Structure 1
Amino acid sequence: MKFSVLSTLVANALSVSAGTILWDGRFNDMSSATDLNNWSWGNQVGPYQYYIHGSSSVTSYVNLSPDFKNPADSGSKQGAKITLDNTAYWNGQNMRRTELIPQTTAAINQGKVFYHFSLMRKDTNAPATTREHQIAFFESHFTELKSGWQSGAPGVSDPLLRWCIGGQTKWSTEWVAGVWHNVAYEIDFGANTVGFWHSTGSDALTQKIAPAGASTSSNGADWHVGVLELPRSGYSDSNEDYYWSGVYIESGSITTSVAGPGSPPGGGVSSSSSSSTTKVPVTSSTTLVTSTKTTSKVSTTSTTSSAPAVSTTPSGCAAAQWSQCAGIGYSGCTSCAAPATCKYVNDWYSQCL
């Protein structure tokens, strides 16, 4: 009997924590969202870089509470509500966005890793179905979630939450209020593949899409925990709330339990010492918006936007890698420092890649 009980406890422990946590973004070491204000380029502390947001106070865009987490996520003491309001315009752009970036020197962009998070919406301040939203994305947009009407698609609105590789929909479901969607991106940076794991509520993650080829490009400081909303003429802003829980990155075998793994020593939070922080230079625009070529359960028509309007290039100017280099209303460098080249994404954004 004792052996049976011990075996059960061991099996349960293994089912909860199968991998090794590389970075822990579950907000366990934060007393409130105002802790994000402690981070700066000169003082890179805490689990997140906080610079992509509007001009109001941090609590206009990020708030923490036990009420904001998936109840099945016992590894998190609280979750985050990330908000877009009428001030959520970063750095003079015309796209609303609130995003957090992992602050870590861990090898989250090497080998085979799993990027975990849970996401939920409510009927109150629901994300608009009439605009494209890019969620939990990388700068090169090789994989991400999207919601709402997809740029270039026919029709007016789209109720789906979808997972994409390179802007192409590989999985989708109707995004219903009050349902927690548990997600893991299975990324093999060496093999250049990405797969998709998913469940709802308290159910264990299962693989929905087997690893497929992708341009897995990341510098380890470009995964965006948050949302970017593309502009659309004729559709006014409204407040939107996105609820996040169980955000962490692990290597090894995937943790399929939504309860999540135990916290590592120190909670995976970087200190201000040089040995535990990454100082990555940032230009005025660090994030590209995704391709308008879209595959949808609502419509299977794919469209490609025309070439972007490009402003006059400043004399002798070359944008650094990862920087914006073209787009409507853009007035910066339109050539890139070698070896990067300017890659078209859509009419609003091209990036040095």
Structure 2
Amino acid sequence: MMFTAQVSSTVLLAASAVSAGTVLWDGRFNDYASSADLDKWSFSNPVGEYQYYIHGKGETAEYVNLSADFKNPGDSASKQGVKISLTDTAFWNGDAMRRTELIPQTKAAINKGKVYYHFSMKRSETNAPSVNREHQIAFFESHFTEMKAGWISGAQGDSDPALRWFADSKSQWDTPWEAGVWHNVAYEIDFDASTVGFWHSTGSDALKQTVAPVKASTSSNGADWHLGVLELARSGFTDANEDIFFSGVYIESGDLTTAIGSGSAAGSADTPPPAAKPVASSSAVIAPAPTTLATSTKAPSTTSAPSATSTKAPSTTLATSIEAPSTSVAAQPTLSATTTAARPTATRKCRKRKARTVQQVAA
């Protein structure tokens, strides 16, 4: 009897570890034959798990590629991962910055209550992101939380090798960003309490809370979380091909799933998506690094989470428009004629402000 009780207890604990929460949206690319499937999506035909409109003018395979080789080996729930690339054509909608980004296509409540945004990310030695330019990664339109890498405006020196987590425009955690190391992340976002926490691990290790929830102006319309990278231009540094790899992307509610490779889609609360609206606001995207760049007090490990450090600095702003191209907006049946007609003027003004601000940052 005692043996039976022990076995039952073990089974229950194992089941609990496999999937603690309810998957609201599953972005693990398991249903994509290749990145060409992203081209099936449009504002008038919102199919698949992702909106795909923030990219350069090249073919999809120039910016997004899928492969089993691109996933975290410890993530058994993902069939493949994604390589997001910046190339010499990765300029979207006339912007001076390079960007390749995917946005969840769902009408699930991913912007309500307490939810967890999961993803794993790494870089390789080949096509490594520049340490001389700021990269905004896995960010929201209002930038209340995001990952960042590379030199940030206002920092001393010309480079920064750190990978950082930002919340409320402040660096809350950082570690040296070494090639080949998978960093597993969960944003703990409480939209009601306006707080964000940070969970982290490396390799196949279970997530641990690295930074307790901090206050932030949590804001999302449910279609403005950007999986991918935006790189700010910087005078004196030429463009080079850059790659960032992502794996295990999903959003859940309820209890946090800490095991890597769990979060089964069997509990998904998603429903068929409605016609999507483009993100059309502008926001502050730069928060300068501290006067002295912070580095981890411990060397990063491929098997355990690095220690947390907190680095705060005053923020500056650079306006960036995330408005969809006018041809896509015209296809939106939900936009009024007044809104559509006013859009070109607003876009021109926004671009002028961006051009002036980018020049100031470059100076």
TM score, norm. by length of structure 2: 0.81
129, 145, 160: which is aligned to 1:158?
A: 160
Residue 137 of structure 2 is matched in structure 1 by 135
Offset at 1:323?
Answer: 7.5
1:57-76 alignment to 2 at 5 Å? 57-76=59-78
Residue 322 of structure 2 is matched in structure 1 by none
276, 281, 286: which is aligned to 1:291?
A: 286
Residue 221 of structure 2 is matched in structure 1 by 219
CA distance in 1, matches of 2:13, 2:52: 38
Question: Contact 1:103 / 1:270 at 8 angstroms: preserved in 2?
Answer: no
CA distance in 2, matches of 1:165, 1:53: 25
Offset at 1:277?
Answer: 2.2
CA distance in 2, matches of 1:307, 1:291: 6
Residue 49 of structure 2 is matched in structure 1 by 47
Residue 91 of structure 1 is matched in structure 2 by 93
Offset at 1:293?
Answer: 3.3
Residue 200 of structure 1 is matched in structure 2 by 202
Question: Contact 1:153 / 1:302 at 8 angstroms: preserved in 2?
Answer: no
1:1-353 alignment to 2 at 5 Å? 1-264=3-266, 271=272, 276-283=273-280, 288=283, 290-295=285-290, 298=293, 302=313, 305=316, 326=350, 328=352, 330=354, 347-348=357-358
Question: Contact 1:89 / 1:97 at 8 angstroms: preserved in 2?
Answer: yes
Residues 278, 252 of structure 1: alpha-carbon distance in 2 compared, 3 angstrom cutoff: farther
Residues 314-345 of structure 1: CA distance to partner in whole angstroms, max 9, x if unpaired? Answer: xxx9669x9796465658xxxxxxxxxxxxxx
Offset at 1:287?
Answer: 5.8
Residues 80-119 of structure 1: CA distance to partner in whole angstroms, max 9, x if unpaired? Answer: 0110110100001011000000000000000000000000
Residues 256-301 of structure 1: CA distance to partner in whole angstroms, max 9, x if unpaired? Answer: 0012221237x77764xxxx32421455xx5645134333761679
Offset at 1:166?
Answer: 2.5
Question: Contact 1:100 / 1:224 at 8 angstroms: preserved in 2?
Answer: yes
- 3-state DSSP class of the match of 2:185? strand
CA distance in 2, matches of 1:306, 1:55: 27
Residues 230-271 of structure 1: CA distance to partner in whole angstroms, max 9, x if unpaired? Answer: 000010011111110000000001000012221237x77764
Residues 304, 56 of structure 1: alpha-carbon distance in 2 compared, 3 angstrom cutoff: same
Residues 324, 105 of structure 1: alpha-carbon distance in 2 compared, 3 angstrom cutoff: farther
Offset at 1:191?
Answer: 0.4
Residues 270, 38 of structure 1: alpha-carbon distance in 2 compared, 3 angstrom cutoff: farther
- 3-state DSSP class of the match of 1:88? coil
CA distance in 2, matches of 1:80, 1:153: 31
- 3-state DSSP class of the match of 2:264? coil
Offset at 1:152?
Answer: 2.1
Residues 135-156 of structure 1: CA distance to partner in whole angstroms, max 9, x if unpaired? Answer: 0000000000000001221210
Question: Contact 2:186 / 2:199 at 8 angstroms: preserved in 1?
Answer: yes
CA distance in 2, matches of 1:138, 1:112: 16
The unaligned stretches of length 5 or more in structure 2 are 295-310, 320-340
RMSD, aligned CA: 2.7
Residue 304 of structure 2 is matched in structure 1 by none
Offset at 1:2?
Answer: 4.2
TM score, norm. by length of structure 1: 0.83
Which amino acid in 2 is paired with 1:25?
G
Which amino acid in 2 is paired with 1:298?
L
Task: From the two aligned structures, give the one with the greater helix fraction.
Answer: 2
Which amino acid in 2 is paired with 1:233?
S
Which amino acid in 1 is paired with 2:274?
T
Residues 305, 118 of structure 1: alpha-carbon distance in 2 compared, 3 angstrom cutoff: closer
Question: Contact 1:134 / 1:227 at 8 angstroms: preserved in 2?
Answer: yes
CA distance in 2, matches of 1:163, 1:296: 17
CA distance in 2, matches of 1:242, 1:38: 23
The unaligned stretches of length 5 or more in structure 1 are 309-316, 332-345
CA distance in 2, matches of 1:306, 1:141: 11
- 3-state DSSP class of the match of 2:90? coil
Residues 295, 16 of structure 1: alpha-carbon distance in 2 compared, 3 angstrom cutoff: farther
CA distance in 2, matches of 1:329, 1:39: 31
Residues 55-76 of structure 1: CA distance to partner in whole angstroms, max 9, x if unpaired? Answer: 1111101111111011111111
Q: Which has the higher contact order (CA 8 A, sep 6+)?
A: 2
